[in-house]
């Protein structure tokens, strides 16, 4: 029997806290449900003490997700731990994940504490968390730059205090596989009670080695790997879930382990995350990039036609990339559309089908053949629009060479309709200026990307934007056959996210004020 590697997904915590990846509670819930379908073992849903928004998201995920353990992060203090458990209490399987730095660099410069003080704080934190819940994970932040004897001492002490999982992060992505593997092996050899806990690893990708380090760790005794979908996370990101899991699946000859991940849900998870965050996946990204399974060179195509084994080490189907057996077009009915979505793994409610069918017919009027990628773009657009406050009703642009462009825009927020116009340096700029006049939100566009979802003159284009409102970056995404419309819808999504963050912030402020009053 091959050893199981527990997959601890931190997309919604370490991933979400990186710039440009923020999600609101509804978006996090959607992602959490997808992670449940992906069959990860643990979903780290957030850092409850960090903000009211984080608290709410962890609580809602704890209530909704029953198939996985739900973890909440806390520093090694009673205040943090209480807040984490308050959010996690509804989970079927709650886990408190508490951490403190253990490297001398962090002790001296950040914590200004001695090793003895940190040891004592760690033990107290784990013992306190253990009174609230059975499952307690303890992380030695910056473990890969910590003194190995001190690490062993602290690990033994927290296991005695009740830690069920001990995590050794490579917080700054400094490790290389050989050293990291040796660190895990040494801990297994030296810590007397190590068999009473699961050893976990958490690697950052600053040197591009996060997945390699995680593999070295499991080869030396680690049995939990912390990772994120698309490898998102602080700075250069975390170990990519899809790369790690597919390495196990593709190389059982040298990696005698298995995970419970349903690999056919990988592509869907990747797409959903990139739509929710607006963080595009690079074309050549392993496993989920647009080029990951496309063979361009003639010699490769020839080989693939003769036998896929010549140039393909895993199939696109194994990660959930499916090819259409049915081409949909203008004459396709609701039934065919529903069936195709089911084949792609989505069961639509009658209301969802109604909404999507309307958008489908609109697209089919412009485009002869509707491909799976188009359908996914419609679906993601649709879900995204559910909670937006401003939506586009109509758009008219006048543009040309040597003249300033003008845009006339009508927006609605569900209650009222707003019409305004503006000029700009090109049609998109003019439309963005008109949005600014209506919403009264001044944004600074820092990133703007268009990529075609399919091919041909009638292809659907996806637009991704990053906009700074009041010093905070918000992303937006939309798909349309018209790039100006897509650009406006993407920008509106960023605006709506900024507005919803603003109202969450206001309620955080109220909450903080109430707490202060209560003291």
* Closer Cβ to Zn ion, 14 or 142, answer by number: 14
CB of 358 to Zn ion, least distance (A): 43
The option from ligand KIV, Zn ion, none interacting with 99 (CB < 5 to 8 A, set by class) reads: ligand KIV
Q: At its nearest, how many Å lie between ligand KIV and the CB of residue 455?
A: 40
Number of residues that bind ligand KIV (CB under 6 A): 9
Q: Which of residues 438-497 bind ligand KIV (CB under 6 A)?
A: none
Q: Smallest distance from the beta carbon of 72 to ligand KIV, in angstroms? A: 12
CB 62, min distance to ligand KIV, A:
19
Least distance CB 167 / ligand KIV (angstroms): 6
Size of the site for Zn ion (CB under 5 A): 1
At residue 333, the 3 state secondary structure works out as coil
Give the list of residues 6+ apart from residue 102 with CB closer than 8 angstroms, or none.
118, 140, 141, 142, 143, 146, 150, 151, 154
28 vs 130 by CB, closer to Zn ion? 28
Which of helix, strand or coil describes residue 190?
Answer: helix
Specify the residue for token string 């029953």. Answer: 66
Measured CA to CA, the distance from residue 445 to residue 15 in angstroms comes to 23
When CB distances are held under 5 to 8 angstroms depending on the partner's kind, the choice from ligand KIV, Zn ion, none that residue 139 binds is ligand KIV
Using CB under 6 A as the binding rule, whether residue 213 contacts ligand KIV is answered as no
Give me the residue label for tokens 């030695």. Answer: 140
**CB of 234: closest distance to ligand KIV in angstroms?**
7
Q: Which of 6, 8, 99, 491 binds ligand KIV (CB under 6 A)?
A: 99
Nearest residue (CB) to ligand KIV, 34 versus 224: 224
Interhelix angle 78-88/115-132, nearest 10 degrees = 30
Cβ proximity to Zn ion, 28 vs 97, nearer residue: 97
Distance from C-alpha of 89 to C-alpha of 63, rounded to nearest angstrom: 9
The listed partner (Zn ion, ligand KIV, none) that binds 122, CB under 5 to 8 Å by sort, is: none
Measured between alpha carbons, how far is 487 from 493 in angstroms, rounded to an integer?
A: 10
Strands 461-469 and 472-480: antiparallel
User: How far is residue 481 from each of residues 31, 408, 437, 458, measured CA to CA in Å?
Assistant: 26, 19, 26, 6
Residue 130: how many other CB atoms lie within 10 Å: 18
Distance CA 34, CA 14 (A): 17
Residue 274 contact, options ligand KIV, Zn ion, none, Cβ 5-8 Å cut-off depending on partner type: none
Pick between residue 202 and residue 466 the one whose CB is nearest to ligand KIV.
202
CB of 120 to ligand KIV, least distance (A): 20
Nearer to ligand KIV, 101 or 435 (CB): 101
CA 420 to chain centre: 36
CB of 144 to ligand KIV, least distance (A): 9
Site for ligand KIV in 272-291 (CB under 6 A): none
Q: Which is nearer to ligand KIV, 14 or 242 (CB)?
A: 14
Nearer to ligand KIV, 94 or 169 (CB): 169
Q: What CA dihedral angle connects 194, 198, 204 and 208, to 10 degrees?
A: 90
- Interface positions, 12-31, toward Zn ion (CB under 5 A): 14
| Torsion sign over Cα 58, 65, 44, 210 | negative
CB of 418 to ligand KIV, least distance (A): 43
Is position 139 an interface residue for ligand KIV (rule: CB under 6 A)?
yes
Q: Which of 19, 43, 14, 48 is nearest to 31 (CA)?
A: 43
CA within 13 Å, CB half, 263: 19
Structure tokens at 482: 């018209």
Residue 14 or 373: the one with the smaller Cβ distance to ligand KIV is: 14
Assess contact for 486 and 461: CB atoms under 8 A. Answer: yes
324-343 residues in contact with ligand KIV (CB under 6 A) are none
CB of 126 to ligand KIV, least distance (A): 14
* Interface with ligand KIV in residues 154-193 (CB under 6 A): 167, 169, 171
Binders of ligand KIV among 11-40, rule CB under 6 A? 14
Per CB under 6 A, the list member of 141, 243, 265, 489 interacting with ligand KIV is 141
Burial status of residue 198 (CB atoms within 10 A of its CB: 0-12, 13-18, 19 or more): middle
Q: How far apart are CA 269 and CA 256, in angstroms?
A: 25
| Using rule CB under 5 A, residue 374 touches Zn ion | no
Is 139:99 a contact under the CB 8 Å cutoff?
yes
Site string for ligand KIV, 43-82 (x = CB under 6 A): ----------------------------------------
Minimum Å gap between C-beta 490 and ligand KIV is 30
Give φ, ψ of 295 to 5 degrees.
-115, 115
Q: Where does this chain bind ligand KIV (CB under 6 A)? A: 14, 99, 139, 141, 167, 169, 171, 202, 204
Which positions lie near Zn ion, rule CB under 5 A? Answer: 14
């Amino acid at each position: 029997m091959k050893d199981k590697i527990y997959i601890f997904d931190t997309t919604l915590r370490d991933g979400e806290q990186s710039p440009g990846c923020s999600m609101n509670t509804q978006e996090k819930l959607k992602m959490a449900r997808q992670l449940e379908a992906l069959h990860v073992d643990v979903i780290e849903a957030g850092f409850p003490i960090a903000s009211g928004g984080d608290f709410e998201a962890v609580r809602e995920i704890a209530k909704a997700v029953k198939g996985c353990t739900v973890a909440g992060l806390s520093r090694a203090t009673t205040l943090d731990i209480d807040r984490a458990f308050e959010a996690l209490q509804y989970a079927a399987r709650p886990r408190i994940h508490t951490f403190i730095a253990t490297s001398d660099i962090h002790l001296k410069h950040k914590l200004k504490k001695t090793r003895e003080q940190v040891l004592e704080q760690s033990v107290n934190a784990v013992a306190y968390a253990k009174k609230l819940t059975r499952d307690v994970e303890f992380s030695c932040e910056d473990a890969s730059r910590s003194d190995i004897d001190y690490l062993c001492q602290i690990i033994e002490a927290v296991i005695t205090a009740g830690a069920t999982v001990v995590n050794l992060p490579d917080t700054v992505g400094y490790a290389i596989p050989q050293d990291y593997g040796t660190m895990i092996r040494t801990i297994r050899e030296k810590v007397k009670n190590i068999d009473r806990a699961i050893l976990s690893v958490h690697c950052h990708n600053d040197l591009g080695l996060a997945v390699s380090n995680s593999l070295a760790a499991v080869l030396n005794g680690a049995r939990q790997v912390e990772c994120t979908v698309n490898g998102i996370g602080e700075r250069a990101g975390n170990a990519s879930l899809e790369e790690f899991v597919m390495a196990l699946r593709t190389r059982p000859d040298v990696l005698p382990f298995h995970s419970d991940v349903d690999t056919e849900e990988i592509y869907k998870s990747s797409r959903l995350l990139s739509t929710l965050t607006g963080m595009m996946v690079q074309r050549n990204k392993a496993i989920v990039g647009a080029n990951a399974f496309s063979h361009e060179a003639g010699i490769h195509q020839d080989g693939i036609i003769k036998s896929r084994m010549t140039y393909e080490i895993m199939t696109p189907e194994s990660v959930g990339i499916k090819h259409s057996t049915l081409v949909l077009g203008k004459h396709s009915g609701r039934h065919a559309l529903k069936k195709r979505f089911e084949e792609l793994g989505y069961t639509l409610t009658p209301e969802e089908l109604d909404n999507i069918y309307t958008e489908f017919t609109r697209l089919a009027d412009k485009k002869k053949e509707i491909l799976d990628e188009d359908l996914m773009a419609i679906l993601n657009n649709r879900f995204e629009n559910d909670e937006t406050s401003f939506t586009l009703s109509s758009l008219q642009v006048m543009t040309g060479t040597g003249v300033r462009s003008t845009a006339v825009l009508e927006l609605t927020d569900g209650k009222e309709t707003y019409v305004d116009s503006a000029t700009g340096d090109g049609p998109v700029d003019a439309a963005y200026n008109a949005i600014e006049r209506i919403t009264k939100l001044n944004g600074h566009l820092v990133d703007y990307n268009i990529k075609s979802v399919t091919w041909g003159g009638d292809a659907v284009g996806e637009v991704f934007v990053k906009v700074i409102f009041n010093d905070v970056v918000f992303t937006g995404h939309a798909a349309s056959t018209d790039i100006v419309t897509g650009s406006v819808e993407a920008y509106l999504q960023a605006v709506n996210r900024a507005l919803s963050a603003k109202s969450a912030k206001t309620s955080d402020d109220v909450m903080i004020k109430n707490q202060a009053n209560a003291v």
